[in-house]
Amino acid sequence: MSAPTPDRDIGLMEGPAALPRRNGELVFEAPWEGRVFGLAVAMTDRRHYHWDDFRDRLVAEIAEGDAAGAASAYYERWLAAFESLLLARGLVTAAELEARTAACAAEPEDDHDHDGHDHHHDEHDRHRDHGHDHHEH
């Protein structure tokens, strides 16, 4: 019998820590949610911490928020758990975390540049869906 893997552990989370899904697929309401999910998983894969340590922090964050009547979203609590674990493990300092948070907050949420294109994805997807596989600018 093989040991559980982080990916298996993540997929089996239940209760309040269960990942948001729609039709069995993970759901991210904003790009930053997918990024922070990926960062937490990657840090586990690279053995910076055990998944159980992260999951326990996430469960505690969710319980604390619920007890306080906080109206925060799942991935806001995920982010808080991730940040507290990074700080507790000494993987980042509070100053580094604050600086990176400020830098991220200053960037437009949907602003990205990959492969040198600068279109809105809805426009690109509409053209691709109608048999066009090129940019019309």
Q: Give 21-51 pLDDT, tens digit per residue.
A: 888 888 999 999 999 999 999 999 999 999 9
Query: Which of 11-15, 32-36, 76-80 comes out lowest in average pLDDT?
Result: 11-15
37 occurs within a structural domain = yes
The domain that contains 81 carries what CATH number?
1.10.472
In a domain, 135, yes or no: no
Separation between Cα atoms, residue 115 and residue 5, nearest integer Å: 33
H runs (alpha helix) in the chain? 6-11, 31-45, 51-67, 74-88, 94-106, 121-129
**1 located within any domain:** no
Q: Is residue 93 part of a domain?
A: yes
Q: Is residue 89, in this structure, part of any structural domain at all?
A: yes
- 136 within domain boundaries: no
Range of the domain at 39: 6-111
pTM comes to 0.69
The total number of structural domains that make up the chain: 1
Q: Report yes or no on 76 lying in a domain.
A: yes
